[in-house]
Homo-oligomer: A and B are copies of this chain.
Amino acid sequence: MSENSDESTAGGVGRRAFLGAAAFGTGAALAGFGGTAAAAATDRAAGAPQVAFPDKFGAFGGGAPGTNNRTEMDLYDCEVEGKLPIDLDGTWFRVGPDPQYPKPDKYAGDIMFDGEGHVSAFRFKNGHVDYKTRYAKTQRWKAQHEARRSLFGMYRNPTTDDPSVKGLSRGTANTQLFVHHQKLLVFKEDSPPVYMDPHTLETIDDYYTFGGKLKSQTHTAHPKIDSETGEYVSFGYEANGLCSKDIHVFSADKKGAVNWAVTVQAPYAGMMHDFAVTQKHIILYLTNMVSDMDRIRAGGVHFSYDSKMPCYLGIMRRGGDGKDLKWFTGQNLFCTHVMGAWTDGDKVTVDMDGGEGNQFPFFPSLREPFDPLKSIGLIRRFTVDLSSKTNDRYQTETIYPMISGVLSRQDDRYHTLKYRWGFINSTGGPGKPAGWAIIDHQEGKTQQCSVPDYSLSEMTFVPRKKGAPEGDGYLIGLGGSQKEAGRSDLIIFDTKAVAEGPVARVKMPFKCVGQVHGFWADAADLPAERQARKI
């Protein structure tokens, strides 16, 4: 199917008379229409190349048909099996990269995480579930949509962009989302949030700056919500430009008004994917995934893993001027996600999942080959004693070493408090199925939510009701049926009856768009539907 000229065909039935699945999937380069179309084109979109993602798995958007979803959907009243908790009233949001357009050949090696953010919402009410997905209509998405082609080059590398998009935000809004001050804020850590209507998923602001008060070019994908005040606490690294060491930390009240902000400095520019907030402290974590200006100038990706560089844990008081920020070193651990954190007197504790080496093989390792064993994520407990003025070391221990996994979560109502219940997407092991592990830090016990023949995405904890005790509720998330070509179910476990298996599943008719993270918003935290647009 890669070419139409077939000189060897003479009369009757040619060699391609019964073009089969094999021929469809050969992965040969397609001739495309670039030349022909360009000649006749009256605008750029008219001359845009035919849309052809690579067949090669691992290339940007590459793989078998169905690898990219790209389809905005509305499925009203999903099919449900089991006993869906009838009093659940709220929306489960999720987001992940979904490549909008194939990259030009020279950027075909770009990483999957440069796909445009595609948001899903499962609205639960009265035992019914409505499903909706929309792309976050970022500045980037809109420009590419208009042009019907990719215009942005490599991951976090503006030097590779089409000149026509200079000045536009490169943000993809593809990593995580929160509902706060009645807005659905969608995050990519290289740019400000995108504000979407939580009901319609319409994009209302493609560059949301908290009313102009966000003094950073970036914003993490992992803000936190203060457990007691409902304040939004967040940060941006590389806050003032490519490879900048500036870190902007701020908070906003329940109505979204910025009420505290400082800019501090990192020891070096590198990945700071998540952070922790306690009632008293901000805890920043700098992994040794360094921002690499040389690689950027050469047209490559933004990061390189440098095992010789130290990881740093930075701690400062909330609400201060940032001058008390102190950076601690210790065992180098490649940690991405925070499970929970708290301050107890002068002692700060942060639980994160992480490996001893690079967990992101799609970014180059500078010093040694990627080591899969060292990428295995375990739950690492970081502690720092702040009582000693001279201490500059953090301590680490591996807790629950029998559980390997990634994508740590907790009951999101306990972001800033000492917490009991943690959750992690466990990868399983010999004799141990993969699944959502529930960790009871108080009792030191673990349970596992597994579904045979399903691959589970990240889970989200949903309180049984407003005011339910910590960890009392449901774990929900998507499972892909391995026996049905990846067809998706939304799977619901009751955290108090894990052994019973899922209490319900929402049966989707297709494989849903992929995701990174998800977030539950109680109906009480959503705006009224009809007024959503006016907020």
Contact = CB atoms under 8 A, between A and B. Distances in A.
Interface of A: 1-2, 4, 6, 9, 12-14, 16-21, 23-24, 30-31, 33, 36-37, 40-41, 45-48, 50-53, 64-84, 86, 101, 126-128, 131, 145, 148, 433, 450-454, 481, 483-485, 487, 489, 497-505, 507-511
A9 B65 contact: no
29 contacts: A1-B82, A1-B501, A12-B499, A14-B500, A16-B499, A17-B450, A17-B501, A23-B501, A24-B81, A24-B489, A30-B82, A33-B83, A33-B127, A37-B126, A37-B127, A40-B86, A41-B126, A45-B126, A48-B128, A51-B77, A51-B79, A51-B80, A51-B128, A53-B79, A65-B487, A66-B484, A66-B487, A72-B73, A73-B73
A50 B69 CA distance: 28
Most chain B beta-carbon contacts within 10 A, residue among A453, A485, A487: A485
A126 to B, nearest CB: 5
Nearest to A3: B83
A267 to B, nearest CB: 44
A24 B505 contact: yes
Q: Give the oligomeric copy count.
A: 2
Given A77-B51, A451-B19, A502-B1, A68 B509 contact: yes
Given A451-B20, A499-B9, A505-B24, A30 B81 contact: yes
Contact of A452 (B21, B33, B36, B127): B21
A contact face: mostly helix, strand, loop, or mixed:
loop
Contacts of A17: 450, 498-501
Contact of A76 (B145, B452, B484): B145
B74 A71 contact: yes
Nearest to A11: B499
A83 B4 contact: yes
A45 B46 CA distance: 46
A487 to B, nearest CB: 6
Given A1-B82, A66-B484, A509 B71 contact: yes
A208 B64 CA distance: 43
A70 B101 contact: no
Contacts of A507: 65
